[in-house]
Amino acid sequence: MLGVSFDSLWNRFEREQKHKRWIWTGIAALLTFIGLGVGAYFVSQNRIIESQNVQLQKLVRNLEEENNTYSQLEGDKKQYVYVGQVRGNGCEDLTLMLFDFHPYEPIVAFSDDWGVWLHYLNSNVEVSLPTNSGKEPLYDITEVRFSAAGKELMAEGYGLYIWDVETCKLVAHYSWGEDGYKDSPEFKQKFPSYDDETNIGTNDYRPENFRFEYQDGKLNIIKKTTTELICSTEMESEEDSTQFIYNVRNPVYNETMFVTRKRAAIYDEDKKEFVLFFKGFNNEENIEISESGEYIRVDKNLYVRTMIPDTIQITDYALKPITDFPLSANESNPHYDTATRASIEIKDNSFTYKRNGLIKEIEVIKSYSMGNTHSFFADAVFAGSDKIVAIVGLEKHRVYSTRTWNLIGTFGNDLMDESMGNDGNLAHADSGLCSARYINGKLYVLTFGGVIRVYDVAKCRLERVIVLPYEIKGDEYIGPIDKVRLAEDGSEIAYSFREQSKYYHCNIPKIK
């Protein structure tokens, strides 16, 4: 009717269909490319997210580390900090059998099913004491006690053992049935009896002067005479709060430890506040304060009383020409002990002790730690005739007994393996070791930056930080300390900084 053949119409129809197929194929291809692009984008974004997650995890770890560091710094401000746990019976469910604090050294003694042990608080080293003497063995121990002077340790049961604390050797053994050994004047002088009540609170702080009330899930400790609320701490039940309530008095410091079945807390009578909380225990024998007042045992856990060292800027000083620097010929040699005629020879990572033909070499740090940031051995000095202190950088200084060569204690330090500070000026900077001296029970460690750290060797702790004064003009560079002379009694110091033509002289406040 239109003059168009059927074939022409069919061919046009096929062309239209083919055109539509090309369009849909193009759309499909476009969608495929878009999908691939979107997929690649999401894969890329996923990789970015994973990278960000890794960075975030690192950041979280860094923040956690910083938080732990901050928490540690905050923890150091407490009056007591945790220093370790004694071995006990080797079972978490069992407590110690018997326990005693050394009268002045950071050492404790305890007995368990395995024997009698010495535990060194600062290094957490434990030494098993020998019990083989050829006689009937000691069993059913009923008492472990240091002598009054702390030189001997006694364990009594069916028989009696006495050890030398320094050498850890058995010096006496009495079998069951050997009467009279406890009646000798020498024994009574070494191991005097003591009143178990000496550690219990006195006067206003005895247990009977307090009223304990349980209310709204809390235990309230109230002073009877003034009705003052001393403490309020959470308790699970009234039964838990009212059982086994007693207190332990610190024999030196004005502190009382209140103990219940669920809580234990140290109350500072001067500050009128609690300074530390522990888990409570239902056995009075599981909590003990040392005679020195420095250490507390709560079951197997040990705590030491801390002391925030003072940073002292000494302003009372004099300047003199460097040519008048005082001579130091009379100063004692820290590597030689006049009493025993023993000497120390310093090596890269060890020292050699020589005395009357005896040669003993002590490896202070492992040789593979030399030359990197792990640690470095700086020096060693005599601390009396029976101890040697190894000065270690980037780790802890170490105290060794010259009788047993046991590591009997450590204490922290800020000694760095550096020759100068970041700004090239070493004054008031922690840096390398300049001098180490032992004076009247104290170890004086002076860095090139003019910082003195004073340690109590017996207690293995830092007691004072002294920042030495200096004078500079403008951008003057003074370098590290070049010369130093510390008085034999630690009362004064003379020192000079490199590149300066003057030296400083000042008095050091007396350290008790």
Whether residues 409 and 329 share a domain: the answer is yes
Tell me which residue of 451, 355, 332 sits closest to 402, measured CA to CA. 355
Whether residues 467 and 361 share a domain: the answer is yes
Whether residues 298 and 362 share a domain: the answer is no
Distances (CA, A) of 314 to 436, 488, 499: 20, 19, 22
Whether residues 333 and 480 share a domain: the answer is yes
Number of separate domains in the chain: 3
| Residue 258 is assigned to a structural domain of this protein | yes
| Residue 147 is assigned to a structural domain of this protein | yes
388-397 contact pairs (CB < 8 A, 24+): 388/344, 388/351, 388/353, 388/362, 389/436, 389/438, 389/443, 389/457, 390/351, 390/362, 390/364, 391/415, 391/433, 391/436, 391/445, 392/364, 392/365, 393/417, 393/432, 393/433, 395/365, 397/443, 397/445, 397/455
Cα radius of gyration rounded to whole Å, the chain? 35
Tell me which residue of 489, 495, 446, 488 sits closest to 470, measured CA to CA. 495
Regions of the chain short of the pLDDT cut 50: 65-66, 68-76, 194-203, 418-429
Whether residues 427 and 380 share a domain: the answer is yes
pLDDT at 74: 45
**Partners of residue 346 on adjacent β-strands:** 351
Domain final residue, candidates 194, 216, 232: 194
pLDDT at 493: 93
Whether residues 243 and 322 share a domain: the answer is no
Report the CATH number at residue 138: 2.130.10.10
CA angle 333, 339, 344 (to 5 degrees): 45
| Residue 69 is assigned to a structural domain of this protein | no
Whether residues 465 and 502 share a domain: the answer is yes
pLDDT at 204: 52
| Residue 314 is assigned to a structural domain of this protein | yes
Whether residues 284 and 336 share a domain: the answer is no
**How many Cβ atoms from other residues are within 10 Å of residue 28's Cβ?**
10
Domain final residue, candidates 305, 335, 360: 305
Tell me which residue of 248, 244, 299 sits closest to 97, measured CA to CA. 299
State the residue range of the domain holding 487.
310-507
pLDDT at 353: 97
Residue in the block written with tokens 């004076």: 439
| Residue 38 is assigned to a structural domain of this protein | no
pLDDT at 466: 86
Whether residues 341 and 323 share a domain: the answer is yes
- Model pTM above 0.75: no
Residue in the block written with tokens 């700004």: 423
| Residue 392 is assigned to a structural domain of this protein | yes
Whether residues 392 and 467 share a domain: the answer is yes
**How many Cβ atoms from other residues are within 10 Å of residue 357's Cβ?**
5
- Are 398 and 383 contacting, i.e. CB atoms less than 8 angstroms apart? no
pLDDT at 66: 47
Whether residues 335 and 384 share a domain: the answer is yes
Report the CATH number at residue 466: 2.40.128.630
| Residue 92 is assigned to a structural domain of this protein | yes
**How many Cβ atoms from other residues are within 10 Å of residue 120's Cβ?**
23
SS (H, E, C) 463-493: EEEEECCCCCCCCCCCCCEEEEEECCCCCEE
Domain final residue, candidates 194, 210, 233: 194
pLDDT at 425: 42
pLDDT in tens, 10-68: 666 677 777 777 777 778 777 777 877 777 777 777 777 777 676 666 666 555 544 54
Whether residues 318 and 245 share a domain: the answer is no
| Residue 53 is assigned to a structural domain of this protein | no
- Are 148 and 156 contacting, i.e. CB atoms less than 8 angstroms apart? no
Please give the structure tokens belonging to residue 368.
Answer: 């593979």
CA distance 231 to 241: 13
